[in-house]
Structure 1
């Protein structure tokens, strides 16, 4: 189901094609999802996740990790890709919106805590940073997937943070943040976390 939304978009994904893709009967599909809109909402419900994010010394690192881990997971997970596809699909967006406000809220919470701890520069406004980075992140993702020689989403998102952070992070914190595109892979291997020997 998620793969079909990702491939053809919301409008072109018919119930017949969803039945064929899932291998379910129409009755079984309708038992779980009474409408195509309900199916799309189910995909979007899984879009906002903190999987792979663990508490760090700096809340600003957790905020960076959120974007880096999502960038690592997105190309590998059809459900997340479908959620992004539905969020940029004009028809789907007009029917049930996007999860971008939720991503903004998650980022704003982390950045607000970072501000309280003195991790952000005095002029940095958490609400503005969260909103602009969600927009920039989405734009980078959309452009990256269309470029034939793209270095990959995690690499591009790492560069995005490397450009933004000097303008918002206090110097002492900035020097300790890890924006490596390889960090998400380490975070998603709990037995070999980012602080493990050799990591």
Structure 2
């Protein structure tokens, strides 16, 4: 267990260091040497966890993936809202998530599969929307795939504008405004009236997620069981 804990801490320190380097220099200009210096680890420790700079960057990208253990309630559209609001809160407080989003939008990182992060978001939103449709929460004409793509792209744009204008200080409010404009076009009136779209909801739901028991999907990878 001690070895596993040390492995998790080492991997996290590498990702956090890489997040800072990528954020300051961009993917193309960042070097493994800079990441090693920031992380304070040996080259062997880094290559135990990651085979290349590209794989480190993919690890940073993965840090922004949607949470897979949001609290379950009766409303699937509320879960859809919570995905966006929790991500807004994480973007305000977690440098690793911030770096993952920056990498996904970095035009100089063309060799990375930056599309994976967008696919993950759109796929999860599409699944939730399909569940909402099955429960009668959506208007009859809604295409869940198109709606998931629109929401994913709109969130990316809103967070980028918030970052440029105030370092994401108002992101919770901006996502709340976005949802207040989009949801009337997809939700039944009765369901829309019941949704909590408050800017503070992301923090409340995130803290609730943190209190949930860990799931198998959030366990460390097996190769990290024994490491430097």
Which one of the candidate residues 147, 154, 164 is aligned to 2:165? 147
Distance 1:24 1:149, change over 3 A: closer
Q: Secondary structure at the match of 1:57?
A: coil
Q: Secondary structure at the match of 2:109?
A: helix
Work out whether residues 144 and 153 of structure 1, in 8 Å CA contact, stay in contact via their aligned partners in 2: yes
CA shift, 1:140, in A, is: 0.5
Q: What do the CA deviations read for 1:37-73 (whole angstroms, capped 9, x no partner)?
A: 0101111223213266211221000001000100011
Work out whether residues 74 and 80 of structure 1, in 8 Å CA contact, stay in contact via their aligned partners in 2: yes
Aligned residue for 1:107? 125
Aligned residue for 1:117? 135
1:45-60 aligned within 5 A: 45-50=62-67, 53-60=70-77
Q: Secondary structure at the match of 1:184?
A: helix
Aligned residue for 1:133? 151
Work out whether residues 87 and 93 of structure 1, in 8 Å CA contact, stay in contact via their aligned partners in 2: no
Work out whether residues 52 and 69 of structure 1, in 8 Å CA contact, stay in contact via their aligned partners in 2: no
Q: What's the TM-score once normalised by structure 1's chain length?
A: 0.89
Aligned residue for 1:27? 44
1:80-91 aligned within 5 A: 80-91=97-108
Unaligned runs of 5+ in 1: 194-199
Work out the number of aligned pairs and report it.
192
Moved more, 118-127 or 147-156: 147-156
Distance 1:100 1:149, change over 3 A: closer
CA shift, 1:188, in A, is: 2.5
Q: What do the CA deviations read for 1:4-35 (whole angstroms, capped 9, x no partner)?
A: 22232211211121111101122322222221
CA distance in 2, matches of 1:101, 1:144: 22
Aligned residue for 1:177? 195
Q: What's the TM-score once normalised by structure 2's chain length?
A: 0.78
Aligned residue for 1:69? 86
Work out whether residues 60 and 114 of structure 1, in 8 Å CA contact, stay in contact via their aligned partners in 2: yes
Distance 1:13 1:184, change over 3 A: same
Unaligned runs of 5+ in 2: 1-17, 212-228
Structure 1 stretches (4+) deviating beyond 6 angstroms? none
Q: Secondary structure at the match of 1:95?
A: coil
